Structure 1
Amino acid sequence: MRIHVATIISAFMLTTLSNCNGQTQKKETAKPNIIIINIDDMGWRDVGFMGSEYYKTPNIDALSKEGIVFTNGYAASANCAPSRACLMTGLWTTRHGIYTVNSSERGQSKDRKLIPTKNTTLLAPKFTVIPEVLKNNGYTTCHAGKWHLTHNPLEDGFDVNIGGSHAGHPTSYNPPYKNVKIQKGKSEYLTDLVMENAIKFVDTISSPFFLYYSPYAVHTPIMPVDSLLPKYRDKTPWKGQKNINYATMVDNLDRNIGLLIKTLKDKHLFDNTLIVFTSDNGGLYGITKQKPLRAGKGSYYEGGIREPFFFVYNGKIKSNTKSEVPITNLDIFPTILKYAGVEETQLELDGHNLSSVLEGKTETLERPLFWHFPIYLQAYNKKDNENRDPLFRTRPGSVIRKGNWKLHYYFEDNGIELYNLAEDIGELNNVASANPSKKDELLTDLKNWWKQTNAPIPTELNPEYINQK
């Protein structure tokens, strides 16, 4: 049975009236409030602080300056459901088996040489997720927006659910939203309504709290915020960014995040709140572009997996700093546990606690990053793409980044691509043949990782495949 947000918030209000002052709250507990802001389909350069001269994101830009920005921040998968499963569990895709949305047999069968690994569509109950751990350690937990991992976030450790279900995107951002069930309020546009209810939660709840703010924006359908259209109608395009309807969605999202931060500061909660900002995958190529990064959502070139990524925690994390350390959304779970003072000795997480990097105690973190995608994902736009071929955003394969080196391996043809990202961030020059020792080193590491994680490797030939070469 779905529990209404308003009912839960009203119940919590009874326990918070004596503790409504944020300053009193801070004295009563050393535990920080925790907010994860996980935007849907926002690309690496879809925000001003990462260089965009087209989209206007003054509130997000200002927030980024309150902490540390990671220029090499990644999602652990190039599309939404697996990326979100990785964030919530702290585990590689090979552990939970969610590789895409719905079927792994994407695209036409005649174009698929291999039988892809079967996809898992729901996160199994055996996996421990962030809200469960925090709830068991004194946190009140709220999910706001897109969940996409199970049917009901209230069964996964959340006390409050604002509009979350297994839906991957809304049918409409305007009422009636059809597939998004959410408590009505003063706002009508879905992004505004999700934040309106999230702020109600922050306004009425006692600390410590965990808010997973995961708006459906800026995922399709691309539905403009009409009041913002004049702002972009005469705006000059910038490096492939020119979709005015999408720009209003980004702009409106920024306004809502500004409202959340204002609420935290007005209630004197900001200084005792750890905030993580990121996106679940790259921007949707054809709607937005991330130059000089190659390709976009669904691809394992940089445009599909590199994200805007920063952490804020006043007094712990120095403001207005940047780091080139490669990190991934797998690192969010163990980092949160550190700052929440939670010891979970039974959890074996694939991510790393980033606190030493966040606090400036170390400037390096030596470990490889891996991505595994043993399935197919069809092209979004065959006529405009930067993938290996126009039919698929990606074919079955794996990727490893180690230092500045990045290797792609494809199962259909044992194809290998090697790039030095320090010299070629756009992944335009495959240097595998010129660097055989580095190629072999990364390939050995990748194969060892397959064994360690029991990664499924597709080998069965598809009888319906038609070799068109």
Structure 2
Amino acid sequence: MQQPNIVFIFMDDMGWRDLGCSGSTFYETPNIDQMCREGMRFDCAYAACPVCSPSRASFLSGQYPARIGVTDWIDESGTFHPLRGKLIDAPYLKHMPENTITVAERLRNAGYQTWHVGKWHLGGGNYLPENFGFDLNIGGCEWGHPSYGYFSPYHIPTLEDGPEGEYLTDRLTDEAIELIRKAPDDKPFFLNFCHYAVHNPIQAKPEDILKFQEKASRMRLDRTEALIEGEHFHTINKKDQCVKRRIVQSDPNYAAMIWNLDWNIGRLRYALEQEGHGRDTIVIFTSDNGGLSTSEGSPTCNFPAAEGKGWMYEGGTLVPAWVWWPGHVAAGSSCAVPITTPDFYPTLLDVAGLAPEEGQVCDGVSILPLLQGKEIPERPVFWHYPHYGNQGGTPGGSVRLGKYKLIEFYEDGKTVLFNLEQDISESRDVSEEEPEIASRLKKMLHDWRESTGAVMPQRNADYGKEWNSVET
């Protein structure tokens, strides 16, 4: 099989229900929905972590964040971390590990042109994309979001500012399309296309916002209570703040960002087809973590999945995912097999006719058989997040095997077991009904943590004193 071109679209903070093809009735994504219908939709796709940087490192390395050592979003300045509550956040690596054999490096060595466009957030200086197998880097730096907003001037160190008022999602798509149009015909390309959207700040074009303000009014969403205040945060720095959960998708600004993104995905597809790459390119679309639904404006809702970004529940890690590959993936197909971010590394090697290097540790498995309508052996999927989330979540780990998922909360060691086929909202703990399954999964999780060298948070001996003395 000829090596296909590869386009990997990695969204930021996009929740599993943020697309029309995944159930949203307020957001509109006609171009994405069409590509999803023409390919395979994954209904149990998971990010490797409930926050961004670890999932990005996981994709590039094919390893779980616990093994890589990048277990939280990268705070290079140290302004935010470590967060302190009953526990103290575990230390973690604040850049992509040196000498990582990335998927970009493997593909480049096999003759691919390798391009990174958009968000990086895996270190600056000597840890930028060009140090990890990419021929070209447009817009990738140590930033986790567009610090100056989505309208030019952006002041992104690796992206020249456009005309005043230019929109970042449009600009990055322009850059990607230009690369595709100028690509030589004798070499396949790998485009790692990482939009900053839909991460905060939630900013969109005025005309798009108006469209969804009017839609919200027609649906009477502007008269519906959208946010519910919940419990206080568990961290000392936010002890006087409360979680605010969005219970309905109704934010016109967020909807407008998604609408614009969809238009740009349509433009990208058109460019591929215009350049003759419509049938020799595989496009994979997914997100780095679940939707932001419990703090920082809570722009989206992941219901019926519980919580969102920064949490160990389904809303924090369940993400949209689909694969478009005309002539290779059956149109209108779907898959309920759980997959996770590190699976995309061996999958891309597989479609390019490559295999992991001898002795290379790869936690992911190729999902190419699933794309071909075949099966893969059942295996567990793991998470380790030894940090307090900015969104209200607490340190924890989890494992999913089949229909069961066990979560361990590190503050008190409590474990809960859920049957996700019956209870995606994770509202009913069945550990007492299924003690053998709970015990087995707990041991599996502990054994896995030990095998990866996972670093755990430490007990905060000064918790009581700090909680009572710190003013927030």
* TM-score > 0.5 by shorter chain: yes
Contact kept? 1:105, 1:376, Cα under 8 Å: no
C-alpha offsets along residues 59-116 of structure 1, whole Å, 9 cap, x if unaligned? 110111121111000000000011111111110111111111225975863xx12232
In structure 2, what is the Cα distance between the partners aligned to 1:169 and 1:180?
13
Which of 156, 159, 165 lines up with 1:179 in the alignment? 156
For residue 410 of structure 1, report the CA deviation from its aligned partner: 1.4
Which of 125, 132, 157 lines up with 1:156 in the alignment? 132
For residue 373 of structure 1, report the CA deviation from its aligned partner: 1.1
Unpaired stretches in structure 2, ≥5 consecutive residues: 225-246
In structure 2, what is the Cα distance between the partners aligned to 1:242 and 1:104?
33
In structure 1, what is the Cα distance between the partners aligned to 2:461 and 2:394?
14
Structure 2 letter corresponding to 1:261: R
For residue 311 of structure 1, report the CA deviation from its aligned partner: 1.3
Identify the residue that residue 75 of structure 1 maps to in structure 2.
47
Q: Which moved more, 1:113-122 or 1:52-61?
A: 113-122
Within a 5 Å distance, the mapping from 1:317-328 to structure 2 comes to 317-328=329-340
Unpaired stretches in structure 1, ≥5 consecutive residues: 1-28, 380-392
RMSD of aligned residue pairs (Cα, Å): 2.0
Q: Which moved more, 1:222-231 or 1:96-105?
A: 96-105
Identify the residue that residue 464 of structure 1 maps to in structure 2.
463
For residue 196 of structure 1, report the CA deviation from its aligned partner: 0.4
Structure 2 letter corresponding to 1:129: T
Which of 187, 190, 207 lines up with 1:227 in the alignment? 207
For residue 150 of structure 1, give the secondary structure of its aligned residue in structure 2.
coil
Contact kept? 1:162, 1:183, Cα under 8 Å: no
Identify the residue that residue 12 of structure 1 maps to in structure 2.
none
Contact kept? 2:6, 2:281, Cα under 8 Å: yes
In structure 2, what is the Cα distance between the partners aligned to 1:223 and 1:120?
31
Structure 2 letter corresponding to 1:331: D
Structure 2 letter corresponding to 1:450: R
For normalisation by structure 2, the TM-score amounts to 0.86
Identify the residue that residue 275 of structure 1 maps to in structure 2.
283
Residues 1:113 and 2:90 aligned together: no
Structure 1 letter corresponding to 2:174: E
For normalisation by structure 1, the TM-score amounts to 0.87
For residue 412 of structure 1, report the CA deviation from its aligned partner: 1.8
Identify the residue that residue 215 of structure 1 maps to in structure 2.
195
Q: Residues 179 and 462 from structure 1, CA distance in 2 versus in 1: closer, same or farther, beyond 3 angstroms?
A: farther
Q: Which moved more, 1:310-319 or 1:292-301?
A: 310-319
C-alpha offsets along residues 119-150 of structure 1, whole Å, 9 cap, x if unaligned? 21101112111111111110011111101113
For residue 264 of structure 1, give the secondary structure of its aligned residue in structure 2.
helix
In structure 2, what is the Cα distance between the partners aligned to 1:332 and 1:85?
12
Which of 380, 384, 388 lines up with 1:372 in the alignment? 384
Structure 2 letter corresponding to 1:422: E
Q: Residues 462 and 86 from structure 1, CA distance in 2 versus in 1: closer, same or farther, beyond 3 angstroms?
A: farther
Residues 1:133 and 2:111 aligned together: no
In structure 2, what is the Cα distance between the partners aligned to 1:175 and 1:104?
26
Which of 167, 184, 192 lines up with 2:170 in the alignment? 192
In structure 2, what is the Cα distance between the partners aligned to 1:108 and 1:368?
30
Identify the residue that residue 359 of structure 1 maps to in structure 2.
372
In structure 1, what is the Cα distance between the partners aligned to 2:95 and 2:81?
18
Which of 266, 271, 294 lines up with 1:263 in the alignment? 271
For residue 154 of structure 1, report the CA deviation from its aligned partner: 1.6
Structure 1 letter corresponding to 2:461: N
Contact kept? 1:141, 1:159, Cα under 8 Å: yes
For residue 468 of structure 1, report the CA deviation from its aligned partner: 7.9
Which of 312, 317, 323 lines up with 1:300 in the alignment? 312
Percentage of identical aligned residues = 38
In structure 2, what is the Cα distance between the partners aligned to 1:170 and 1:442?
40
Identify the residue that residue 235 of structure 2 maps to in structure 1.
none
| Corresponding pairs, count | 425
For residue 34 of structure 1, report the CA deviation from its aligned partner: 0.4
